[in-house]
Structure 1
Amino acid sequence: MPSERTEVLVRSGVESDLDALTDIYNHYVRETPITFDTAVFTPEERRPWLLSHPEDGPYRLKVAEERDLEGNSHRILGYATSSPLRPKPAYVTSVEVTVYLAPDAGRRGIGTLLYKALFEALAEEDLHRAYAGVAQPNEASARLHERFGFRHVGTYREVGRKFGRYWDVAWYEKEL
């Protein structure tokens, strides 16, 4: 009989995570305004995104994996990334960060574990600021970002249209 006891490990993302990460992201594409993508992705379409987040440097991918204590099974609970804020060279010391969780992984502290690992990894990088855009309403995401020292710096009103309506995006900033 399998053990009911599990642990959560946060590690760098690897190519074998691609299917699970794509499934998590596609949930938000199909079901929520949290991402403004409107069409689901295949894992092959998401491969360049995954490969743009190496194990070192300012653009990271951290994955939360749940494992049973015997190490027999595991599943991806979510991920956090740091990505370029804008493509122009003067933005190189700023990153945009985000967290996506499996639909049943909320309210377990997984987002906190992911951001903690991400910001620890970024601490030695030549970065000045992190930014996060949060489609509104999303109180859980606002609380997570505030817990990590982000402050609200403005809101783009009705900036995206999805599911037949317009959505606001609140922007948060954190000094690194």
Structure 2
Amino acid sequence: MQVRPGTEADLGPLTDIYNHYVRETAVTFDTVSFLPEERRPWLLSHPEDGPHRLMVAQRDKSGILGYATSSPLRPKPAYATSVEVSVYLAPDAGGRGVGTLLYEALFDALAGEDLHRAYAGIALPNEPSVRLHERFGFRHIGTYAEVGRKFQRYWDVAWYERPLGPAD
């Protein structure tokens, strides 16, 4: 397996992975699937350098197993040294260490950036995601109760944070 920065050639498979979570889970609060062209601005907002990255796990030429991103936490300038991170895996890729490899590559890539904190929101219940984030030093800082409605029910979102930068 190879972990590398995402490219425009990955747009279709990355959209397919994300759409699985849109249609089948409450992991994302998007409720309508995307066409690849609709996801292009998202992909282009994650260049190969800088604080906003996209790392892709690929199994030889046979397909993408998942991806991890760091994205702006909020649009206001004072938030510039904080990022929100996430991992999405292909439906058959869970439990094989792909998320761990993706986060290792992502945090290695971010090590030289001017960043102070990483945040992750986890729609509950999602024990595999909680375990992954705790393994990477994230700590629970609070939960938004019933903050999102999808599939005719309300979902809680737990928030986790991790220090970044020279004090890691």
Q: 2:10 matched to which residue of 1? A: 17
4+ residue segments displaced more than 6 Å = none
Identity %: 78
Mapped to 2, the partners of 1:150 and 1:36 lie a distance apart of 22
Match of 2:97 among 109, 113, 117: 109
Q: 1:86 matched to which residue of 2? A: 74
Match of 1:163 among 143, 148, 151: 151
Match of 2:26 among 33, 53, 69: 33
Mapped to 2, the partners of 1:134 and 1:23 lie a distance apart of 21
Cα RMSD, aligned residues only: 0.4
Q: 2:109 matched to which residue of 1? A: 121
Mapped to 2, the partners of 1:170 and 1:85 lie a distance apart of 15
Match of 2:37 among 33, 36, 44: 44
One-letter amino acid matched to 1:54: P
Match of 2:58 among 52, 65, 82: 65
1:31-75, CA deviations, whole angstroms, 9 ceiling, x for partnerless residues?
0000000000000000000000000000000000001xxxxx320
Mapped to 2, the partners of 1:74 and 1:149 lie a distance apart of 32
SS of equivalent to 2:142: strand
Unaligned runs of 5+ residues in structure 2 are none
Mapped to 2, the partners of 1:12 and 1:22 lie a distance apart of 16
1:129-155, CA deviations, whole angstroms, 9 ceiling, x for partnerless residues?
000000000000000000000000000
Q: TM-score, normalised by structure 1?
A: 0.93
SS of equivalent to 1:149: coil
Mapped to 2, the partners of 1:126 and 1:116 lie a distance apart of 18
1:8-37, CA deviations, whole angstroms, 9 ceiling, x for partnerless residues?
100000000000000000000000000000
Count of matched residue pairs:
164
Mapped to 2, the partners of 1:139 and 1:76 lie a distance apart of 23
**Displacement after TM superposition at 1:166 (Å):** 0.1
One-letter amino acid matched to 1:148: F
Mapped to 2, the partners of 1:90 and 1:53 lie a distance apart of 20
**Displacement after TM superposition at 1:169 (Å):** 0.1
Mapped to 1, the partners of 2:143 and 2:42 lie a distance apart of 26
